[in-house]
Each structure stands twice: as structure tokens, then as C-alpha cells.
Amino acid sequence: LKVSYKAVLLAPFLLVIAYSFTITQEREDEWKKMVPIVKKKQDKNTVIFVSASYKFKDFAFYYDLEAFKNYTKSAEMLAKKGVFFSPDDQWCGWNKLNYDTINKIIYVHSHAQFEDPEHAIEKFIISKGFKECDYYNRVNTGYAVYIRDTMDCYPVKLVKPISNEK
């Protein structure tokens, strides 16, 4: 009887402990959700920088499946669409871009604490005449939208003039 009493008293306690733990693992990279959002923000005068460079295949899978499948030419195919993964790549590094023709840069980052702990990429973008206008971050993945510092982040549209009459 002593064992059955102990089991009855211990069972609810064990159930409470079991339900207090999160059984599902939290995903740190939400490429499936984030890439379509980033892609919608891109236009013909927009480039996308993806960092950490080793995450470019993850990004490519949801951005352009054909580029993802072509392992040897993925970076070139994506560069033609304005997506870059490295500042120093000999063929398609973002250091080689003509920033006079670009109005918006979307900086997609994953594991920035490892790839860019001193925020050198953000400093580089700002040094080219851009300012940050939008930011999203989730666990280790996110993006920031930079536009020309001569442009307004959120243009205000005049719907109806306010009259001075009371």
C-alpha cells in the first residue's frame, strides 16, 4: 500500500513537471517565413545582402529553387537577381557594386554574432549613404531595410487637408 500511495501522490507532480517543459524545439532560422517577405520588399533598384555567407544555400532554397539546385552557379544566378552573400567574392561580391544605382539594401542576417560581431556590414551600408528604416529579428535570424539617406523611410500621403475653421 505504501508504494501505491506514493505513486498516487507523485503522479500529479510528475505530470506538472512534464507539461512545464516545451516539447517542440524552437527553430532559429525561419527562412520559409522570412524570404517571401524580403522578396516582396525587393524591386529593381534593391539589392539583398545575406550574412552569414555559409547560410546562402538556406536562403536560396526559398528565394530561387533553380539557383539552389545549381550548386556551382548558385551565387552567380542570385547575383543577377540582386542577391549577394559575400563582400569579397571575386565575381559577385557586394564591394564591387555601383551604389549610385541602388536605392534600397535589404540586409538579411543569420548568426550575426559569429559572422559579423562588430556590425561591420551595417557600418559599410551606412557609409555608402544609406539609413536604416525597418528591422525584424527573431532568435538568430532577421533583416534590416536600408534606403538612401536622401529618401523618406515612410512617405506620408496627404489624404485630406485640415481646414483652419473651427
Q: What pLDDT does 47 receive?
A: 96
Q: What pLDDT does 27 receive?
A: 62
Q: What pLDDT does 117 receive?
A: 83
* CA geometry: angle 73, 121, 125, nearest 5 deg: 100
Q: What is the pLDDT of residues 8-34, one digit of tens each?
A: 888 888 888 888 876 666 666 788 889
Between 115 and 130, residue with greater pLDDT: 130
Band of the pLDDT at 40, cuts 50, 70, 90?
A: very high
